[in-house]
Amino acid sequence: MGLIMRTLGDPATYRRLVYLVSALVLGPAWFIALVTVWSLCLGLVITPFVIPLLLVLAFMTRGFAAVEAELASSLLDVDAHAPVPGQTQPGFWAWFRSQFGGSFWRAQGYLMTRWFAGFPIAVLVLSVLAAGLGLLFAPVWVPFVQGGADLGLWRPHTFVQSLALVPAGLILLPIGVLIAKPLSLPFGSIAAGLLRADSPPVAGPGQAGPLARTARPRQALQTHASVDAVVVLALVLIWAVTSRSYFWPIWVVLPLATGSMRGWC
């Protein structure tokens, strides 16, 4: 009993409760926004418009994650940070690729967690709290409900009968508050693990030579060019087999070729 009273009197309990309930609004907002932009990116993947859309997705994810990191830090008392792009080499394409590092994907995973796990838990907690409040204040509203309150096996309809519901409300309402702590514990661990910056690369013994540093980007460019060639060839073959009226693979060739040329320069 003493533990229950201490938990009910602890301000951290109510901060965790606010965090759980916030998923009722934030979960659907993050999910709808991310799915919408991802759908646009996939729909325009063969056009140059996908590049600004991907940047919108990166900045939007970073902004959403910043809100979630602040909530996790202040309400769950965990060390959480918004994703920050890593250091890049000069050039637009190097900067562009840096927007989609590990922190970007971890933030995406966390935002989806707030929808797939956070939203149902928020509904559960609010349902328990609403039921507890409804039973606690049953004498205020039950006598005015035509036919009484339908509770399944019993239908109270008078003020005196509704008084029997008050003890159930006094039990259920604290339960809705107490379950906030165990339900929020996994989210604290998830926030600390996913909402963090990328670790800087550690230089090893074999990474010190300037020759190795020069060869590595060249190998990456060769790999990039090989993959681009395969993709372009496959799309041209699809175009040749299906239709020759409009050369739509040009919208894929242009950004790929531009990225390769910028890399060689």
Please report, as a single letter, which amino acid is at residue 189.
S
Distance CA 83, CA 66 (A): 8
Q: Which residues of 215-242 are buried (b: 16+ CB within 10 A; e: fewer)?
A: eeeeeeeeebbeebeeebeebeeebeee
> What is the DSSP code (8-state) at residue 200?
P
Q: Are 162 and 139 in contact (CB under 8 A)?
A: yes
Q: Where are the domains of the chain?
A: 2-199, 211-265
What tens digit of pLDDT does each residue of 71-123 get?
999 999 998 888 777 666 777 888 888 888 888 899 999 999 999 999 999 99
pLDDT tens track for 25-51: 999 999 999 999 999 988 888 888 889
Residue closest to 16 by CA, chosen among 175, 178, 181 = 181
pTM for the whole thing?
A: 0.71
Residues contacting 97, CB < 8 A, separation 6+? 88
Average of per-residue pLDDT values in the chain: 79
Distances (CA, A) of 175 to 3, 121, 182, 225, 239: 13, 14, 12, 60, 63
Asked whether 195 and 110 are in contact (CB, 8 A), the reply is yes
